Amino acid sequence: MQNQFSDFRSDTVTTPSAEMRQVMSEADVGDDDYRDDPTVIRLEEKVADLFEKPAALFLPSGTQSNLIAILTHCQRGDEIITGKGYHIYAWEGGGASALGGVIVNPLTTDETGEINQDELSVSIKKGSGHEPSTKLLSLENTYCGMVQPIEKLDMLTRIAHNANISTHLDGARLANAVIKTGNSFASYGRLFDTVSLCLSKGLGAPVGSVLVGGPDFIERARRQRKQLGGGMRQSGILAAAGLYALEHNLNRLNTDHHNASVLAQKLSQNPVFHVRHNLTHTNIVYADIEPDKAESMHAHLASNHIKVNSAEAVISDGKIWFRFRFVTHLNIEDEDINRLIDCSNIFDG
């Protein structure tokens, strides 16, 4: 189906299919603040089982899921170690500090988002003397579409646990890593105390994230959700979409990954783009362009009904480039990719 627009901005832009809307409209519901909604309970049990964790909590967004994890793991004045480009540091409006009073220590990562294990070891603070005390290591997979090797996650979480630090995985796009690598959700669940998983990214639900962890932790997280105003009532309508997404949209992430690699390969035939193949692991393609061409390319694509985010300045190979990211998802089909390729091939800016 040729849509009016081809929207490569994010995998959050997907709209629920007719089948998903159907199951939403038929969902059994109750008041979830009374723990009375059978569909929410079914979703929480399903995601807890996937991760082989005892408990789960359904939340309105991935940002709230990470924030509640932080508020539950940490006290005011505690420190969280994370990565410099990671979502909890870079894209959550400083919520952890504003609302949790925690200090976030963002370690530099390599281009694919990996934290160096020695840097982690030397950054952990015991809270002696004047130091804050490090309470949480928060990692991310995928990081901007890049799969973090499970051996590396294993090593980093071991370092943290050996130092008595809790571990959280921001798994907003963990489903993409699961499908790409063949590792189970549980294989990641075993490494981390808590994990958050988004239903509204590549999985295609309109709303929702699930946080998994131990029973006491999830009870305390439930109270945090209430404090933040995130308790919902007949939210089974939304949970039904999440259940549908896990049943029908998980394996099809392979198609998004295939489409992204086709797109990367075709874009690299256009000399205006320097496609970063080493950064293109799952459903996000990165392509750099000379700084003076970034705005005109963006306008050219927009005038041809192609939506992309503005390119961001980056330093790569020792010079400044502007980097576009193109995200594939369940509303991107062959025609959309061809439209983008054909359109960028006639760019003369």
- Judged by CB under 6 A, the residue of 135, 173, 225, 257 near ligand PLP is 173
**Residue whose token pair is 């359109």:** 343
Spatial CB neighbours of 240, under 8 Å, sequence gap ≥ 6: 23, 24, 26, 27, 39, 43
Q: Can residue 183 be called a binding residue for ligand PLP (CB under 6 A)?
A: no
Q: Which is nearer to ligand PLP, 111 or 216 (CB)?
A: 111
Q: Can residue 268 be called a binding residue for ligand PLP (CB under 6 A)?
A: no
Q: Taking the complex as a whole, how short is the minimal distance between the CB of residue 58 and ligand PLP, in angstroms? A: 13
Residue 177's nearest CA partner among 152, 214, 146, 138 is 146
Q: Which is nearer to ligand PLP, 39 or 196 (CB)?
A: 196
Residue 148's nearest CA partner among 167, 164, 171, 165 is 171
- Judged by CB under 6 A, the residue of 73, 87, 125, 225 near ligand PLP is 87
Q: Can residue 172 be called a binding residue for ligand PLP (CB under 6 A)?
A: yes
Residue 211 and residue 65 in contact, taking contact as beta carbons nearer than 8 Å:
yes
Specify the DSSP class assigned to residue 239: H
Tell me the two tokens of residue 142. Answer: 């995928």
Residue nearest to ligand PLP (CB): 62
Among positions 8-67, residues that touch ligand PLP (CB under 6 A) are 61-63, 66
Site track for ligand PLP across 197-236, x = CB under 6 A? -x-xx-------x---------------------------
Where b means 16+ CB within 10 Å and e means fewer, 46-64 reads bbbebbebebbbbbbbbbb
Q: Which is nearer to ligand PLP, 63 or 194 (CB)?
A: 63
Q: Taking the complex as a whole, how short is the minimal distance between the CB of residue 104 and ligand PLP, in angstroms? A: 14
Rounded to an integer, what distance in angstroms lies between the CA atom of residue 223 and that of residue 70?
Answer: 13
Q: Can residue 113 be called a binding residue for ligand PLP (CB under 6 A)?
A: no
Residue 11's nearest CA partner among 316, 318, 338, 309 is 309
Q: Which is nearer to ligand PLP, 170 or 193 (CB)?
A: 170
Q: Can residue 325 be called a binding residue for ligand PLP (CB under 6 A)?
A: no
Q: Taking the complex as a whole, how short is the minimal distance between the CB of residue 146 and ligand PLP, in angstroms? A: 11
Which residues contribute to the site for ligand PLP (CB under 6 A)? 61-63, 66, 87, 140, 170, 172-173, 198, 200-201, 209
